């Protein structure tokens, strides 16, 4: 029984573990390889490739697989918001730095808790138990990160919209992911919706800047990996559990920076790490109202 439970846990959790690892490494890669930085154009290409893989790979593996019927369901658009939310600063062409972005996305668990309570997907409704992990994560990050400047309206909008869009997208995706479409159709529609939104943003940005975007291979590769793993992970976890990503990633970055840079360990950094670890553990231990079957992005 214990071995079977371990296998089921591994089957459910491997995309999320890889996602957190990839997201934690993204900052280090872009610091050492600026060309790998994400842009609206690279996100557009990544979503298009993800949609093509989700659509075509099952057909190649299973020639008799039924054709996909794309839909504009809440799950598909919710998935698109998950992809767009963390990149909202690119849409607004704001100067939002990585630290402020991490701080803003740490509020995603709070948005998820409020959205789930509003949609009735939590048995106990809105409670301190569902709110404290996100608030604890933000409190911990404020101990080690500079407070965000509220002087720029674009930065203010990005700080607000990043967790709002991401949290609402997570909730909508999980609430409707088992309705109307199977997992493959759901994933393909999500990637197509993300491609549409990023493509529109790229077109508007190109018009305003009078430039033709040319995404690099490295940027597209990183965005593609994160895009695929994001939907794979969310198909296997609840929205609350998935939101732990925005707590675990800064925890991993903080831990690596302390060990690699050999920085002096302070009371602030230790308190931050404890708050982030406690918040992540609490989020991962919370389960939804029902036990959802693990889904798959590319296969039935």
In this predicted structure, what is the pLDDT of residue 78?
86
- Opening angle at CA 86, ends 173 and 165, nearest 5: 45
- pLDDT tens digits for 8-62? 567 778 999 999 999 999 888 988 888 888 999 999 999 999 999 988 876 666 6
pLDDT beyond 60 at 269? yes
In this predicted structure, what is the pLDDT of residue 181?
52
CB proximity list for 109: less than 8 A, separation 6 or greater: 133, 134, 137, 167, 240, 243, 244, 246, 247, 279, 283
pLDDT beyond 60 at 168? yes
- Higher-pLDDT residue of 263, 33: 33
pLDDT beyond 80 at 230? yes
| Separation between Cα atoms, residue 19 and residue 252, nearest integer Å | 12
In this predicted structure, what is the pLDDT of residue 86?
93
pLDDT beyond 50 at 300? no
Q: Is residue 258 very low, low, confident or very high in pLDDT (cuts 50, 70, 90)?
A: confident
Q: Is residue 272 very low, low, confident or very high in pLDDT (cuts 50, 70, 90)?
A: very high
Query: In this predicted structure, which of 1-5, 15-19, 72-76, 291-295 has the lowest mean pLDDT?
Result: 291-295
Query: By three-state DSSP, how is residue 148 classified?
Result: coil
| Separation between Cα atoms, residue 280 and residue 58, nearest integer Å | 34
Closest by CA to 133, choosing from 284, 287, 282, 285, is 282
- Opening angle at CA 131, ends 125 and 136, nearest 5: 170
- pLDDT tens digits for 120-146? 666 455 666 778 999 999 999 999 988
> DSSP string covering 196-246, please?
HHHHHHHHHHHHHHT------HHHHHHHHHHHHHHHHHHHHS-HHHHHTHH
In this predicted structure, what is the pLDDT of residue 28?
86
- Opening angle at CA 258, ends 24 and 95, nearest 5: 50
- Higher-pLDDT residue of 150, 102: 102
| Separation between Cα atoms, residue 161 and residue 155, nearest integer Å | 10
Query: By three-state DSSP, how is residue 137 classified?
Result: helix
- pLDDT tens digits for 73-96? 677 788 899 999 999 988 887 777
CB proximity list for 120: less than 8 A, separation 6 or greater: none
In this predicted structure, what is the pLDDT of residue 2?
55
């Amino acid at each position: 029984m214990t071995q079977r439970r371990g296998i089921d846990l591994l089957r459910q959790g491997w995309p999320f573990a890889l996602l957190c690892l990839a997201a934690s490494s993204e900052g280090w890669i872009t610091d050492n390889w600026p060309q790998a930085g994400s842009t609206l154009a690279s996100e557009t290409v990544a979503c298009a490739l993800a949609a093509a893989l989700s659509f075509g790979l099952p057909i190649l593996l299973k020639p008799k697989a039924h054709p996909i019927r794309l839909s504009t369901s809440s799950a598909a658009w919710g998935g698109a918001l998950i992809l767009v939310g963390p990149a909202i600063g690119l849409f607004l062409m704001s100067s939002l730095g990585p630290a402020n972005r991490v701080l803003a996305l740490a509020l995603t668990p709070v948005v998820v808790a409020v959205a789930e309570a509003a949609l009735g997907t939590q048995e106990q409704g809105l409670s301190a138990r569902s709110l404290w992990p996100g608030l604890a994560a933000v409190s911990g990050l404020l101990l080690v990160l500079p407070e965000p400047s509220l002087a720029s309206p674009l930065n203010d909008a990005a700080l607000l919209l990043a967790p709002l869009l991401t949290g609402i997208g997570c909730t909508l995706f999980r609430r409707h992911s088992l309705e109307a479409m199977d997992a493959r159709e759901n994933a393909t529609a999500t990637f197509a919706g993300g491609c549409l939104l990023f493509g529109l943003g790229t077109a508007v940005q190109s018009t305003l800047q009078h430039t033709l975007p040319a995404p690099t291979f490295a940027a597209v590769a990183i965005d593609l990996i994160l895009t695929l793993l994001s939907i794979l992970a969310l198909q296997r976890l609840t929205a609350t559990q998935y939101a732990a990503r925005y707590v675990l990633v800064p925890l991993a970055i903080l831990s690596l920076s302390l060990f690699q840079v050999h920085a002096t360990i302070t009371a602030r950094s230790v308190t931050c790490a404890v708050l982030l670890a406690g918040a992540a553990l609490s989020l991962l231990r919370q389960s939804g109202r029902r036990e959802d079957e693990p889904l798959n992005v590319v296969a039935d």
